[in-house]
Amino acid sequence: MSISYVTKETFDQMIEELNKLKSEGRSEIAKAIAEAREKGDLKENAEYDAAKEAQGHHEAKIAILENAVANARIIDVNDIDTSKVTILSKVKMLNMGTKKSIQYQIVSENEADLKAGKISVSSPIGKGLLGKKVGEVAEVQTPGGLMKFKVEEITI
């Protein structure tokens, strides 16, 4: 997995979720396995099989999150250069096709939430905007075709 840049808040959420999965989640699965074991023959015990499968999925989720935490780099908002679009920048831009002004914050894949106005740095629009300065036009190839965005403002 590649390095992902996240805010301190997102990193803290990842750690909190990881700790919860390791403590509460593991104990709940252990209880389910123990209860299924008490019900007799394990060869024909669907409850036991389901509990063991849930355990496998749970451990895989923990491994993925541990890897994400290990590869996360915290970005301090105070260190962001607002002369060009970078990760965590808020970009006000004009859609040259629709003539509508929109604003997005460029965030890591983990933080992307279109409804909240946060787009991934690895999305077509995010990639197209990176490094652009106020007044420059980003040409972005999207699944819907070529789109042009003029950067109007860059803030934190």
Q: Mark which of 74, 94, 113 sits at the end of a domain.
A: 74
Same domain, 65 and 105: no
* Same domain assignment for residues 97 and 52: no
Considering the domain architecture, whether residues 89 and 138 belong to the same structural domain is answered as yes
Check whether residue 69 and residue 82 sit in a common domain: no
Give the domain extent around 9.
Answer: 4-74
| Whether 120 contacts 105, CB under 8 Å | no
Q: Are residues 62 and 87 in the same domain?
A: no
Residue where a domain stops, chosen among 48, 74, 100: 74
User: Looking at 39, 74, 109, which one is the last position of a domain?
Assistant: 74
Q: At 29, which CATH number?
A: 1.10.287.180
Say if residue 56 is in the same domain as residue 22: yes
Q: Using CA atoms, how far apart are residues 51 and 31, in angstroms rounded to an integer? A: 9
- Rounded to two decimals, the pTM is 0.67
**In this predicted structure, what is the pLDDT of residue 62?**
94
Nearest alpha carbon to residue 58 among 28, 15, 16, 13: 28
For residues 145 and 117, membership in a common domain is answered with: yes
Q: What is the pLDDT of residue 42?
A: 67
Q: 96, 137 in Cβ contact below 8 A?
A: yes
Q: pLDDT of the chain along its 156 residues, tens only?
A: 577 888 888 899 999 999 999 999 899 999 988 888 887 776 777 888 888 899 999 999 999 999 989 988 888 877 788 899 998 899 999 999 999 999 999 988 878 899 999 999 989 999 999 999 999 999 999 888 899 999 999 998
CATH number for the domain including 141? 3.10.50.30
Please indicate, yes or no, whether residues 52 and 110 belong to a single structural domain of this protein: no
pLDDT on residue 108: 82
Whether residues 70 and 135 share a domain: the answer is no
Indicate the number of domains in the chain.
2
Same domain? For 92 and 110 the reply is yes
Give CA–CA dist 6/55, Å, rounded. 29
